[in-house]
Structure 1
Amino acid sequence: MNSWQRVVTESKQSLLQITNRVRVNSVKGFLSLVLVGMSLSLAIAACSGNSSNSATDNPSANKKRDVEVTLVSFAVTRSAHDAIIPKFAQKWKQEHNQNVRFNQAYGGSGSQTRAVIDGLEADIVHLALALDTKKIEKAGLIEPGWEKEVPNNAVVSRSVAALITRPGNPKGIKTWTDLAKPDIKVITADPKTSGVARWNFLALWNSAIKPGGGEDKALDFVTTVYSNVPILTKDAREATDAFAKQGQGDVLINYENEVILAQQKGGKVNYVVPDVNISIDNPIAVVDKNVDKHGNREVAEAFVEYLFTPEAQQEFAKAGFRPVEVVAQNKEVLKEVADRYPKVNNLGTVQDYGGWDKVQKQFFEDGAVFDQIQSKIRR
């Protein structure tokens, strides 16, 4: 029997002896019992404190319970996150003596958005466009103002639009204006169903606006380009398959990072990055309702912050994404990888057109600009 157990046992025996000797309904007896009870409580508390101190001497006693985090992202970020997550987990372990396990789910940004809204309990979402994140916000899962909680309006990875051509570029496609030529067949997905295709549409519209054209000129140009689209696929993957596997079209509009990733896997891809382009911005957000439910907000927010560090941005660069410049140190990352990315001198953003809420309403809702364009085209 150790010392604190002896103290507790002796105190209990004293209490029993007093109980047997005194009548509780007398004032003296009542006070005696109270005093003994207080002595017993103090003895137990003091001895318990000594026990805690001895546990502190054992490092394993301070180890926190493991924590799980669920990350839901769009497909082409997988290689970057697979490299980033182990680095973050090691850092967190060193600083907090706690293991972090990540559950990961990848797919099309639109389908991932629907899955989270329908019940996939993501703690963090990294999606292709802020419009998808906004949908999760409107479903009540993310608190408004998430864009301001981290750097760069929450844009953690970015790319630009690229024009992928046939080997040797037999049609001589170099700029957006080439897509309006009558003998060019353009492959892209339907912006009504594909997030990537919304970026493609905005890149085309921006290419007419940025050099000084008005909305009428942009409408005419984009209408001409879409009249050269033989089929609108459901999503970006189907568009790529139609171009690469089925041999349809002369040019495919796609993300630059997809092209770089394909080259890293051994593919030979002919492509052009137009000098007038759109910044394809991919936001990150903590899913407030789920992290509060899971009790893992601290680690989820720390991971999101970590994604903006040079270490994480280097991994995004390896996966074909252009590093974000918001963190001063990331400018060094940009210098290191500058030769991978053609310089874009005239880069537009979705903010130039009022943000995604306005863009969605103006271009992609039923009866909006894209539907008007389609009504003019006979396929």
Structure 2
Amino acid sequence: MNRSRLTALRAFPASGVLRSLCSLRVWAVAAGALVALTPAQAQQSLLNASYDVAREFYREINPAFVQSYQQQTGQAIKVDQAHGGSSAQARAVREGLQADVVTMNTTTDIDFLADNGLVAKDWAQQFPYDAAPTTSTMLFLVRKGNPKGIRDWADLVKPGVQVVVVNPKTGGNGRYAYLAAWGAVLEGGGTPEQAREFVAQLYKNVPVLGKGGRDATAVFLQRNIGDVLVTFESEVLSVEREFGKGRVDVVYPSTSVLAENPVALVQPVVQKKGTEQAARAYLQFLYSEQAQEIAARHGLRPRSQAVLERHAQQFKPIKLFRVQEHFGSLGQAQKVHFNDGGEFDRLYGAGQGAGRR
């Protein structure tokens, strides 16, 4: 032992040295345990790639899940978010975004990932309600006082009415708006040709297409473009939180489309990261009573009947049709209406010109 170390030891009574050594040993064991746990904890991190207007919902869901997961498993976990137009998010995942889960607003975006080997082909059978824990529908937001007298779909094609919608080629919000308008004509006894003419006229009244739901809201409320915004029912609460109550009026059309919000695991990512169990628990949590209550508070229609009944005043009754009733499926609607060269390209190009797209 060198002299300096010996001098240091002599400065303490023997009992003090022993206590110090014991304390150091306990600290070292604890530190070793902490170091041993750190890699495992660092691996428990999930990324949820989601659609544009679900930001606030998942901002509240994520800490609730983190707390629930830690209570049930004793493991720490972190959940990060990535938001954008639903289809843009699906393409980002295909191009390498390392999302563990996708929570979209149309099944076509998850089918797209399944076709690219990123999501299981039977993804819709892996969770209840065809893997869609919440639903929504399309309605209208109009300027305070409703100066243009917007009441139903037919009012959107009147001369002088400007309509803001999402581009159906980049976001599920836009696809559901398009299908809701088309289906409303059929629900009223119209023919497919009449529906085509109606939707073509509607898009002639569209001055700009939003990239996603939140972008369309910004166009309407920040840039003050348009007389009516066609968007998800859930966007109403987001608008009130961000811009204050009373900025817009809400108009429920006589009929609209049932929009289901599907979820899925991104298989290559969870297998690579070893997060499949945690990712599955995250998606299952969305069906819990706690998560369904959060969904209702954010304007998403819950699957839980008990939660829905508690929020009956919030979710007004509206005649809803399913996509399958008029379009076969969202996949078929995608091929006919939204793929390159489809119905939307033809009618929008004819009405606005490719340069406006």
Q: TM-score range by the shorter chain?
A: 0.7 to 0.9
Task: After TM superposition, give the deviation of residue 162 of structure 1 in Å.
Answer: 1.4
1:342 equivalent in structure 2: 316
Q: Structure 1: which 5+ runs fail to align? A: 1-58, 325-329
Quote how far apart the aligned CAs of 1:350 are.
2.1
Please say if 1:272 is aligned against 2:251. yes
- 1:261 deviates by 1.6
User: 1:298, 1:136 → 2: CA distance?
Assistant: 20
Paired residues for 1:1-379 under 5 Å = 65-66=40-41, 67-265=44-242, 266-267=244-245, 268-324=247-303, 330-344=304-318, 346-352=319-325, 353-377=327-351
Deviation per residue, 1:178-223 (Å, 9 max, x gap): 1122232222233233332111101101111112222122112212
Q: 1:215-235: per-residue Cα shift (whole Å, max 9, x none)?
A: 122112212222222333444
Counterpart AA for 1:222: V
Distance in 2 of aligned mates of 1:269 and 1:154:
33
Query: Once superposed, what is the RMSD of the aligned Cα atoms?
Result: 2.5
Match of 1:142, as an amino acid?
V
Task: Tell me which amino acid in the other structure corresponds to 2:201.
Answer: T
Normalising by structure 1, report the TM-score.
Answer: 0.77
Is this contact kept in 2: 1:123–1:286, CA < 8 A? yes
SS in structure 1 at match of 2:92: helix
For the Cα contact (< 8 Å) 1:184–1:250, is it kept in 2?
A: yes
1:376 shift after superposition = 3.9
Query: Counterpart amino acid of 1:215?
Result: P
Contact persistence 2:86–2:170 (CA under 8 A): no
Structure 1: 4+ residue segments shifted above 6 A: none
Deviation at 1:157, TM superposition (A): 2.5
Return the alpha-carbon distance in structure 2 between the equivalents of residues 94 and 297 of structure 1: 19
Secondary structure of 2:261 counterpart: strand
Q: Which has the larger radius of gyration?
A: 1
Q: Which has the higher contact order (CA 8 A, sep 6+)?
A: 2
When the two structures are aligned, how many residues end up with a matched partner? 316
- Among the aligned pairs, what percent are the same residue? 34
Structure 2 unaligned runs (5+)?
1-32
Quick check: 1:256–1:273 contact (8 Å CA) kept in 2?
no
- 1:9-59 per-position Cα deviation (integer Å, ceiling 9, x unaligned): xxxxxxxxxxxxxxxxxxxxxxxxxxxxxxxxxxxxxxxxxxxxxxxxxx9
